[in-house]
A and B are shown apart, each in its own frame.
Chain A
Amino acid sequence: MPAITHHIPDAMIAAYAAGSLPHAFAMVVASHLSYCRDCQAALGAHQSAGGALLEAAHSEELSPGMKASVMAILDKPPTPEPVYDAKGIYPGPVMQALKGGAPRWRTLGMGVKQNILYEGDGGSARLLYIPAGQAVPDHTHNGLELTLVLQGSFSDETGRFGVGDVEIGDEDLEHTPVADAGDPCICLAATDAPLRFSALMPRLLQPLFRI
Protein backbone atom coordinates (compact mmCIF):
# COMPACT_ATOMS: atom_id res chain seq x y z
CA MET A 1 0.00 0.00 0.00
CA PRO A 2 1.45 3.42 -0.88
CA ALA A 3 2.46 5.80 1.89
CA ILE A 4 -0.08 8.60 1.63
CA THR A 5 0.66 12.05 3.01
CA HIS A 6 -2.02 14.22 1.38
CA HIS A 7 -5.56 13.26 2.39
CA ILE A 8 -9.16 14.30 1.82
CA PRO A 9 -10.31 16.90 4.40
CA ASP A 10 -12.68 15.49 6.99
CA ALA A 11 -15.58 17.76 6.05
CA MET A 12 -15.34 16.50 2.47
CA ILE A 13 -15.47 12.89 3.66
CA ALA A 14 -18.62 13.74 5.64
CA ALA A 15 -20.13 15.32 2.53
CA TYR A 16 -19.19 12.21 0.53
CA ALA A 17 -20.92 9.97 3.09
CA ALA A 18 -24.00 12.17 2.93
CA GLY A 19 -23.95 12.15 -0.85
CA SER A 20 -23.77 15.92 -1.13
CA LEU A 21 -20.55 16.07 -3.16
CA PRO A 22 -20.83 16.73 -6.88
CA HIS A 23 -20.33 13.51 -8.88
CA ALA A 24 -16.87 14.47 -10.18
CA PHE A 25 -15.56 15.09 -6.65
CA ALA A 26 -17.20 11.91 -5.37
CA MET A 27 -15.14 10.03 -7.99
CA VAL A 28 -11.91 11.45 -6.59
CA VAL A 29 -12.90 10.87 -2.97
CA ALA A 30 -13.98 7.26 -3.66
CA SER A 31 -10.73 6.69 -5.56
CA HIS A 32 -8.58 8.08 -2.73
CA LEU A 33 -10.52 5.93 -0.25
CA SER A 34 -9.58 2.94 -2.39
CA TYR A 35 -5.96 3.48 -1.28
CA CYS A 36 -6.30 5.00 2.15
CA ARG A 37 -7.08 3.18 5.38
CA ASP A 38 -7.07 6.42 7.41
CA CYS A 39 -9.72 8.09 5.28
CA GLN A 40 -11.79 4.88 5.21
CA ALA A 41 -11.74 4.99 9.02
CA ALA A 42 -12.91 8.61 8.89
CA LEU A 43 -15.68 7.61 6.48
CA GLY A 44 -16.65 4.85 8.91
CA ALA A 45 -16.97 7.40 11.71
CA HIS A 46 -19.26 9.58 9.59
CA GLN A 47 -21.34 6.56 8.56
CA SER A 48 -21.73 5.73 12.25
CA ALA A 49 -22.96 9.24 12.95
CA GLY A 50 -25.33 9.00 9.98
CA GLY A 51 -26.58 5.64 11.20
CA ALA A 52 -27.23 7.00 14.68
CA LEU A 53 -29.19 9.91 13.17
CA LEU A 54 -31.18 7.48 11.04
CA GLU A 55 -32.08 5.47 14.13
CA ALA A 56 -33.14 8.65 15.89
CA ALA A 57 -35.28 9.76 12.95
CA HIS A 58 -38.93 10.57 13.35
CA SER A 59 -41.09 7.78 11.89
CA GLU A 60 -43.46 8.46 9.03
CA GLU A 61 -46.44 6.24 8.39
CA LEU A 62 -46.15 4.02 5.34
CA SER A 63 -48.83 3.51 2.71
CA PRO A 64 -50.89 0.41 3.44
CA GLY A 65 -49.72 -2.57 1.43
CA MET A 66 -46.18 -1.33 1.02
CA LYS A 67 -44.66 -4.04 3.17
CA ALA A 68 -46.64 -6.77 1.42
CA SER A 69 -45.53 -5.53 -1.98
CA VAL A 70 -41.86 -5.51 -0.93
CA MET A 71 -42.13 -8.99 0.62
CA ALA A 72 -43.73 -10.23 -2.60
CA ILE A 73 -40.78 -9.24 -4.79
CA LEU A 74 -37.92 -10.16 -2.44
CA ASP A 75 -36.73 -13.02 -4.58
CA LYS A 76 -37.38 -11.41 -7.93
CA PRO A 77 -33.97 -11.34 -9.59
CA PRO A 78 -32.68 -7.75 -9.73
CA THR A 79 -31.54 -6.17 -12.97
CA PRO A 80 -27.88 -7.13 -13.10
CA GLU A 81 -25.55 -4.21 -12.60
CA PRO A 82 -22.04 -4.28 -13.98
CA VAL A 83 -19.36 -4.30 -11.28
CA TYR A 84 -16.07 -2.67 -12.15
CA ASP A 85 -13.10 -3.91 -10.19
CA ALA A 86 -9.77 -2.15 -9.82
CA LYS A 87 -7.51 -2.89 -12.78
CA GLY A 88 -3.83 -2.03 -13.18
CA ILE A 89 -3.24 1.44 -11.78
CA TYR A 90 -6.93 2.34 -11.87
CA PRO A 91 -9.11 1.90 -8.75
CA GLY A 92 -12.71 0.69 -9.10
CA PRO A 93 -14.32 4.16 -9.24
CA VAL A 94 -12.12 5.09 -12.23
CA MET A 95 -12.81 1.74 -13.92
CA GLN A 96 -16.51 2.47 -13.43
CA ALA A 97 -16.11 5.80 -15.23
CA LEU A 98 -14.11 4.05 -17.98
CA LYS A 99 -16.88 1.40 -18.14
CA GLY A 100 -14.23 -1.27 -17.73
CA GLY A 101 -12.19 -0.21 -20.77
CA ALA A 102 -8.80 1.42 -21.26
CA PRO A 103 -8.41 5.23 -21.30
CA ARG A 104 -8.73 6.92 -24.70
CA TRP A 105 -6.12 9.63 -24.55
CA ARG A 106 -6.45 12.91 -26.43
CA THR A 107 -3.29 14.87 -26.81
CA LEU A 108 -3.13 18.40 -25.41
CA GLY A 109 0.37 19.16 -26.70
CA MET A 110 3.79 18.98 -25.03
CA GLY A 111 3.22 15.25 -24.48
CA VAL A 112 0.37 15.99 -22.08
CA LYS A 113 -2.79 13.96 -22.70
CA GLN A 114 -6.24 13.80 -21.19
CA ASN A 115 -9.31 11.59 -21.17
CA ILE A 116 -12.50 13.29 -20.02
CA LEU A 117 -14.40 10.87 -17.80
CA TYR A 118 -17.37 12.94 -16.79
CA GLU A 119 -18.95 16.29 -17.51
CA GLY A 120 -22.04 17.56 -15.77
CA ASP A 121 -23.63 20.48 -14.01
CA GLY A 122 -21.60 19.89 -10.87
CA GLY A 123 -18.23 19.81 -12.62
CA SER A 124 -16.03 17.52 -14.62
CA ALA A 125 -13.47 14.79 -14.10
CA ARG A 126 -10.62 13.71 -16.34
CA LEU A 127 -7.54 11.58 -16.41
CA LEU A 128 -4.34 13.49 -17.09
CA TYR A 129 -1.13 11.97 -18.48
CA ILE A 130 2.02 14.00 -17.91
CA PRO A 131 5.41 12.74 -19.14
CA ALA A 132 8.27 12.75 -16.64
CA GLY A 133 9.91 16.14 -16.29
CA GLN A 134 7.04 17.84 -18.07
CA ALA A 135 5.27 20.72 -16.43
CA VAL A 136 1.54 20.82 -16.40
CA PRO A 137 1.28 24.35 -17.66
CA ASP A 138 0.42 26.97 -15.11
CA HIS A 139 -3.30 27.11 -14.55
CA THR A 140 -5.37 29.19 -12.26
CA HIS A 141 -8.44 27.66 -10.75
CA ASN A 142 -11.86 29.08 -10.94
CA GLY A 143 -13.39 27.06 -8.17
CA LEU A 144 -12.26 23.89 -6.44
CA GLU A 145 -9.99 21.30 -8.00
CA LEU A 146 -8.99 17.87 -6.65
CA THR A 147 -6.06 16.03 -8.21
CA LEU A 148 -5.33 12.42 -7.21
CA VAL A 149 -2.12 10.71 -8.36
CA LEU A 150 -2.64 7.22 -9.82
CA GLN A 151 0.85 6.62 -11.22
CA GLY A 152 4.22 8.35 -10.82
CA SER A 153 4.33 11.60 -8.90
CA PHE A 154 4.38 15.35 -9.32
CA SER A 155 5.78 18.19 -7.31
CA ASP A 156 4.84 21.83 -7.10
CA GLU A 157 5.27 24.81 -4.82
CA THR A 158 3.29 23.08 -2.10
CA GLY A 159 5.05 19.71 -1.99
CA ARG A 160 5.40 16.29 -3.59
CA PHE A 161 2.40 14.14 -4.49
CA GLY A 162 2.77 10.38 -5.00
CA VAL A 163 0.32 7.57 -5.72
CA GLY A 164 -2.80 7.98 -3.59
CA ASP A 165 -2.05 11.60 -2.65
CA VAL A 166 -4.64 14.29 -3.34
CA GLU A 167 -3.92 17.93 -4.00
CA ILE A 168 -6.71 20.36 -3.28
CA GLY A 169 -6.60 23.61 -5.20
CA ASP A 170 -8.81 26.64 -5.08
CA GLU A 171 -8.81 30.21 -6.33
CA ASP A 172 -5.92 31.05 -4.03
CA LEU A 173 -3.56 28.36 -5.29
CA GLU A 174 -1.45 29.38 -8.27
CA HIS A 175 0.91 26.50 -8.82
CA THR A 176 3.00 24.72 -11.43
CA PRO A 177 2.95 20.97 -10.98
CA VAL A 178 5.85 19.16 -12.67
CA ALA A 179 5.89 15.38 -13.17
CA ASP A 180 8.83 13.86 -11.34
CA ALA A 181 11.43 11.65 -13.03
CA GLY A 182 10.36 8.06 -13.64
CA ASP A 183 7.06 6.76 -14.98
CA PRO A 184 4.74 9.29 -16.60
CA CYS A 185 2.46 10.83 -14.01
CA ILE A 186 -1.19 9.83 -14.40
CA CYS A 187 -3.76 11.72 -12.33
CA LEU A 188 -7.48 11.84 -11.81
CA ALA A 189 -8.47 15.51 -11.70
CA ALA A 190 -11.91 16.88 -10.89
CA THR A 191 -13.08 20.45 -10.91
CA ASP A 192 -16.34 22.26 -10.34
CA ALA A 193 -15.47 24.92 -12.92
CA PRO A 194 -13.77 24.96 -16.32
CA LEU A 195 -9.99 24.97 -15.96
CA ARG A 196 -8.05 27.81 -17.49
CA PHE A 197 -4.71 26.65 -18.80
CA SER A 198 -3.15 30.07 -19.06
CA ALA A 199 0.13 29.06 -20.68
CA LEU A 200 -0.84 26.03 -22.70
CA MET A 201 -3.04 27.55 -25.34
CA PRO A 202 -5.04 30.64 -26.14
CA ARG A 203 -8.29 30.85 -24.26
CA LEU A 204 -10.16 30.97 -27.54
CA LEU A 205 -9.18 27.38 -28.24
CA GLN A 206 -10.31 26.10 -24.89
CA PRO A 207 -13.89 25.23 -25.80
CA LEU A 208 -12.47 23.12 -28.61
CA PHE A 209 -10.43 21.02 -26.25
CA ARG A 210 -12.90 21.30 -23.40
CA ILE A 211 -10.29 22.15 -20.82
Chain B
Amino acid sequence: MVTVNLDKPPGRKALHGVSPGATAAVSNGKAFSQLTIWLLAIRDQRDRAAFGALFDHLAPRLKGFVMRSGASSALAEEIVQDVMLTIWRKASQFDPHKAQASAWIYQIARNRHIDIVRKEHRPVPDELSADPGLEPDASQILGLEQEAEQLKLAIQQLQPDQKEMIEKAYIGQLTHQEISSQTGLPLGTVKSRIRLGLGRLRKELKGLR
Protein backbone atom coordinates (compact mmCIF):
# COMPACT_ATOMS: atom_id res chain seq x y z
CA MET B 1 0.00 0.00 0.00
CA VAL B 2 1.57 3.19 -1.15
CA THR B 3 0.12 6.27 0.43
CA VAL B 4 0.26 9.25 -1.84
CA ASN B 5 -0.16 12.65 -0.35
CA LEU B 6 -2.26 14.66 -2.77
CA ASP B 7 -2.12 18.00 -1.01
CA LYS B 8 -1.70 20.82 -3.43
CA PRO B 9 1.90 22.00 -3.19
CA PRO B 10 2.56 25.63 -2.37
CA GLY B 11 2.68 27.62 -5.57
CA ARG B 12 3.62 31.15 -6.46
CA LYS B 13 1.39 33.79 -5.07
CA ALA B 14 -1.36 34.35 -7.61
CA LEU B 15 -3.43 37.38 -8.45
CA HIS B 16 -6.54 35.63 -7.19
CA GLY B 17 -6.78 33.67 -3.93
CA VAL B 18 -5.68 30.13 -3.06
CA SER B 19 -7.24 26.73 -3.38
CA PRO B 20 -8.00 24.00 -0.85
CA GLY B 21 -6.10 20.70 -0.86
CA ALA B 22 -7.22 17.10 -0.64
CA THR B 23 -5.67 13.90 0.63
CA ALA B 24 -6.22 10.45 -0.79
CA ALA B 25 -4.55 7.07 -0.66
CA VAL B 26 -4.12 5.03 -3.78
CA SER B 27 -3.59 1.33 -3.54
CA ASN B 28 -0.15 0.46 -4.96
CA GLY B 29 -0.39 3.65 -6.96
CA LYS B 30 -2.36 1.62 -9.48
CA ALA B 31 -3.23 3.56 -12.62
CA PHE B 32 -0.57 6.10 -11.73
CA SER B 33 2.23 6.16 -14.23
CA GLN B 34 5.67 5.19 -13.05
CA LEU B 35 6.85 8.75 -13.67
CA THR B 36 4.15 10.10 -11.37
CA ILE B 37 5.02 7.62 -8.62
CA TRP B 38 8.69 8.56 -8.80
CA LEU B 39 7.95 12.28 -8.77
CA LEU B 40 5.64 11.98 -5.76
CA ALA B 41 8.28 9.97 -3.88
CA ILE B 42 10.82 12.68 -4.69
CA ARG B 43 8.37 15.43 -3.73
CA ASP B 44 7.13 13.94 -0.48
CA GLN B 45 9.98 11.75 0.76
CA ARG B 46 12.97 13.35 -0.99
CA ASP B 47 13.61 9.77 -2.13
CA ARG B 48 17.05 9.54 -3.75
CA ALA B 49 16.48 5.97 -4.98
CA ALA B 50 13.34 7.13 -6.78
CA PHE B 51 15.36 9.99 -8.27
CA GLY B 52 18.02 7.52 -9.42
CA ALA B 53 15.38 5.39 -11.12
CA LEU B 54 13.80 8.48 -12.69
CA PHE B 55 17.23 9.54 -13.94
CA ASP B 56 17.90 6.16 -15.58
CA HIS B 57 14.55 6.23 -17.34
CA LEU B 58 14.32 9.87 -18.25
CA ALA B 59 17.78 11.33 -18.81
CA PRO B 60 18.60 9.39 -22.03
CA ARG B 61 15.17 10.30 -23.50
CA LEU B 62 15.62 13.90 -22.48
CA LYS B 63 19.00 13.95 -24.19
CA GLY B 64 17.45 12.52 -27.35
CA PHE B 65 14.61 15.02 -27.17
CA VAL B 66 16.91 18.01 -26.71
CA MET B 67 19.22 16.85 -29.51
CA ARG B 68 16.23 16.72 -31.87
CA SER B 69 16.15 20.51 -31.56
CA GLY B 70 19.63 20.63 -33.08
CA ALA B 71 21.64 20.87 -29.85
CA SER B 72 25.06 19.19 -29.77
CA SER B 73 25.60 16.22 -27.50
CA ALA B 74 27.56 18.38 -25.04
CA LEU B 75 24.91 21.12 -24.88
CA ALA B 76 22.18 18.51 -24.58
CA GLU B 77 23.94 16.96 -21.59
CA GLU B 78 24.35 20.36 -19.96
CA ILE B 79 20.60 20.90 -20.37
CA VAL B 80 19.71 17.39 -19.16
CA GLN B 81 21.82 17.86 -16.04
CA ASP B 82 20.14 21.17 -15.36
CA VAL B 83 16.65 19.74 -15.94
CA MET B 84 17.30 16.78 -13.64
CA LEU B 85 18.53 19.08 -10.87
CA THR B 86 15.53 21.35 -11.40
CA ILE B 87 13.18 18.36 -11.06
CA TRP B 88 14.80 17.51 -7.72
CA ARG B 89 14.70 21.10 -6.47
CA LYS B 90 11.25 22.05 -7.70
CA ALA B 91 9.51 18.75 -7.01
CA SER B 92 7.41 20.53 -4.38
CA GLN B 93 5.67 22.35 -7.25
CA PHE B 94 4.56 19.15 -8.97
CA ASP B 95 0.80 18.74 -8.65
CA PRO B 96 -0.63 15.65 -10.39
CA HIS B 97 -4.12 17.23 -10.31
CA LYS B 98 -2.91 19.85 -12.74
CA ALA B 99 -0.45 18.21 -15.07
CA GLN B 100 0.90 14.82 -15.96
CA ALA B 101 4.42 14.08 -14.84
CA SER B 102 5.58 14.03 -18.46
CA ALA B 103 3.88 17.38 -19.20
CA TRP B 104 5.43 18.97 -16.10
CA ILE B 105 8.87 17.68 -17.07
CA TYR B 106 8.38 18.77 -20.69
CA GLN B 107 7.76 22.37 -19.61
CA ILE B 108 10.78 22.36 -17.29
CA ALA B 109 12.91 20.99 -20.13
CA ARG B 110 11.74 23.68 -22.56
CA ASN B 111 12.18 26.46 -19.98
CA ARG B 112 15.67 25.39 -18.95
CA HIS B 113 16.74 24.93 -22.57
CA ILE B 114 15.64 28.47 -23.41
CA ASP B 115 17.10 30.00 -20.27
CA ILE B 116 20.46 28.34 -20.94
CA VAL B 117 20.63 29.09 -24.65
CA ARG B 118 19.17 32.60 -24.62
CA LYS B 119 20.52 33.53 -21.21
CA GLU B 120 17.29 35.29 -20.35
CA HIS B 121 14.57 34.24 -17.98
CA ARG B 122 11.54 32.93 -19.74
CA PRO B 123 8.38 34.63 -18.45
CA VAL B 124 6.13 32.20 -16.58
CA PRO B 125 2.45 32.82 -15.82
CA ASP B 126 1.11 33.34 -12.32
CA GLU B 127 -0.72 30.38 -10.91
CA LEU B 128 -4.46 30.76 -10.96
CA SER B 129 -6.56 29.71 -8.01
CA ALA B 130 -8.27 26.36 -8.46
CA ASP B 131 -11.58 26.41 -10.29
CA PRO B 132 -14.11 26.98 -7.49
CA GLY B 133 -16.37 24.27 -8.94
CA LEU B 134 -13.54 21.75 -8.90
CA GLU B 135 -12.52 20.18 -5.59
CA PRO B 136 -9.18 18.46 -6.25
CA ASP B 137 -9.54 14.70 -6.03
CA ALA B 138 -7.89 11.56 -7.32
CA SER B 139 -10.20 11.27 -10.34
CA GLN B 140 -8.57 14.35 -11.86
CA ILE B 141 -5.21 12.65 -11.60
CA LEU B 142 -6.51 9.47 -13.16
CA GLY B 143 -8.13 11.48 -15.96
CA LEU B 144 -4.82 13.12 -16.74
CA GLU B 145 -3.00 9.80 -16.63
CA GLN B 146 -5.54 8.37 -19.06
CA GLU B 147 -5.09 11.34 -21.36
CA ALA B 148 -1.33 10.76 -21.38
CA GLU B 149 -1.83 7.14 -22.39
CA GLN B 150 -4.19 8.14 -25.20
CA LEU B 151 -1.74 10.74 -26.43
CA LYS B 152 1.04 8.21 -26.48
CA LEU B 153 -1.11 5.96 -28.65
CA ALA B 154 -2.06 8.86 -30.91
CA ILE B 155 1.61 9.69 -31.42
CA GLN B 156 2.40 6.07 -32.26
CA GLN B 157 -0.30 6.14 -34.94
CA LEU B 158 0.95 9.27 -36.68
CA GLN B 159 2.60 8.99 -40.06
CA PRO B 160 6.38 9.43 -39.73
CA ASP B 161 6.30 12.77 -41.55
CA GLN B 162 3.47 14.05 -39.36
CA LYS B 163 5.31 12.92 -36.26
CA GLU B 164 8.44 14.69 -37.37
CA MET B 165 6.58 17.95 -37.93
CA ILE B 166 4.82 17.79 -34.59
CA GLU B 167 8.05 17.00 -32.83
CA LYS B 168 9.67 20.02 -34.36
CA ALA B 169 6.77 22.24 -33.32
CA TYR B 170 6.92 21.04 -29.71
CA ILE B 171 10.69 20.90 -29.51
CA GLY B 172 10.76 24.59 -30.21
CA GLN B 173 12.25 24.49 -33.63
CA LEU B 174 11.15 28.01 -34.01
CA THR B 175 9.04 29.25 -36.86
CA HIS B 176 7.24 27.56 -39.69
CA GLN B 177 9.72 29.35 -41.93
CA GLU B 178 12.63 27.69 -40.19
CA ILE B 179 10.99 24.29 -40.28
CA SER B 180 10.50 24.82 -43.96
CA SER B 181 14.10 25.72 -44.67
CA GLN B 182 15.39 22.79 -42.60
CA THR B 183 13.27 20.15 -44.23
CA GLY B 184 13.21 21.60 -47.71
CA LEU B 185 9.41 21.39 -47.68
CA PRO B 186 7.42 24.31 -48.98
CA LEU B 187 5.92 26.45 -46.21
CA GLY B 188 2.33 25.62 -47.12
CA THR B 189 3.01 21.91 -46.81
CA VAL B 190 4.65 22.37 -43.44
CA LYS B 191 1.75 24.37 -42.10
CA SER B 192 -0.85 21.94 -43.33
CA ARG B 193 1.07 18.97 -41.94
CA ILE B 194 1.36 20.59 -38.56
CA ARG B 195 -2.32 21.39 -38.66
CA LEU B 196 -3.16 17.83 -39.66
CA GLY B 197 -1.03 16.33 -36.96
CA LEU B 198 -2.16 18.77 -34.30
CA GLY B 199 -5.77 18.31 -35.33
CA ARG B 200 -5.40 14.61 -34.87
CA LEU B 201 -3.86 15.04 -31.45
CA ARG B 202 -6.52 17.53 -30.48
CA LYS B 203 -9.22 15.11 -31.51
CA GLU B 204 -7.72 12.57 -29.17
CA LEU B 205 -7.69 15.18 -26.43
CA LYS B 206 -11.28 16.21 -27.09
CA GLY B 207 -12.53 12.67 -26.66
CA LEU B 208 -11.14 12.76 -23.15
CA ARG B 209 -12.31 16.15 -21.92
In the complex, B52 has a CB within 8 A of chain A: yes
Complex formed: what's the CA distance from A56 to B64 in Å?
10
Our pick among A51, A60, A73, A74 for the contact of B104 (Cβ within 8 Å) is: A51
Q: Are A92 and B12 in contact (CB under 8 A)?
A: yes
Complex formed: what's the CA distance from A27 to B64 in Å?
29
Given contact pairs A19-B110, A44-B99, A55 touches B152 in the complex (Cβ within 8 A): yes
Contacts of B175 in A (CB 8 A): 20
Give B125-164 as 1s and 0s: 1 = Cβ < 8 Å from A's Cβ atoms: 1101001000000000000100110011011100000000
Give A1-35 as 1s and 0s: 1 = Cβ < 8 Å from B's Cβ atoms: 10000000000001101111001001101110111
Complex formed: what's the CA distance from A24 to B55 in Å?
34
User: How close is B114's CB to chain A, nearest CB, in angstroms?
Assistant: 4
Jot down 19 A-B pairs with beta carbons below 8 A, ordered by A: A19-B113, A31-B125, A43-B125, A44-B98, A45-B202, A45-B205, A47-B106, A47-B107, A48-B99, A48-B148, A51-B103, A51-B148, A60-B60, A60-B73, A61-B60, A61-B63, A62-B59, A73-B85, A91-B126
Q: Are A18 and B171 in contact (CB under 8 A)?
A: yes
Our pick among B15, B35, B51, B67 for the contact of A91 (Cβ within 8 Å) is: B15
User: How close is B181's CB to chain A, nearest CB, in angstroms?
Assistant: 15
Q: Are A50 and B125 in contact (CB under 8 A)?
A: no
Stretch among A78-86, A101-109, A171-179, A200-208 lining the B interface? A78-86
In the complex, A199 has a CB within 8 A of chain B: no
Contacts of B201 in A (CB 8 A): 49
Give B84-126 as 1s and 0s: 1 = Cβ < 8 Å from A's Cβ atoms: 1100110000000011111111110111011000101111111
Q: Are A49 and B170 in contact (CB under 8 A)?
A: yes
Chain A interface extent, by class? 35 or more
Which residues of chain B in 39-87 are interfacial with respect to chain A, using CB atoms and an 8 Å cutoff? 48, 51-52, 55-56, 59-65, 67-68, 73, 76-77, 80-81, 84-85
Given contact pairs A62-B60, A70-B84, A86-B14, A51 touches B102 in the complex (Cβ within 8 A): yes
Our pick among A27, A34, A45, A67 for the contact of B126 (Cβ within 8 Å) is: A34
In the complex, A155 has a CB within 8 A of chain B: no
Given contact pairs A47-B103, A48-B100, A30 touches B124 in the complex (Cβ within 8 A): yes
Q: Are B67 and A83 in contact (CB under 8 A)?
A: no
Q: Are A70 and B85 in contact (CB under 8 A)?
A: yes
* Chain B interface residues (CB < 8 Å from chain A): 12-16, 35, 48, 51-52, 55-56, 59-65, 67-68, 73, 76-77, 80-81, 84-85, 88-89, 98-107, 109-111, 113-114, 118, 120-126, 128, 131, 144, 147-148, 151-152, 154-156, 166-167, 169-175, 198, 201-202, 205
Complex formed: what's the CA distance from A34 to B120 in Å?
20
4 nearest CB pairs, A to B: A51-B102, A33-B125, A51-B103, A93-B123
Q: Are B77 and A62 in contact (CB under 8 A)?
A: yes
Our pick among A18, A62, A74, A83 for the contact of B110 (Cβ within 8 Å) is: A18
Our pick among B56, B81, B101, B170 for the contact of A50 (Cβ within 8 Å) is: B170
Contacts of A37 in B (CB 8 A): 128, 131
Complex formed: what's the CA distance from A99 to B154 in Å?
42
Contacts of A61 in B (CB 8 A): 60, 63
Complex formed: what's the CA distance from A52 to B55 in Å?
17
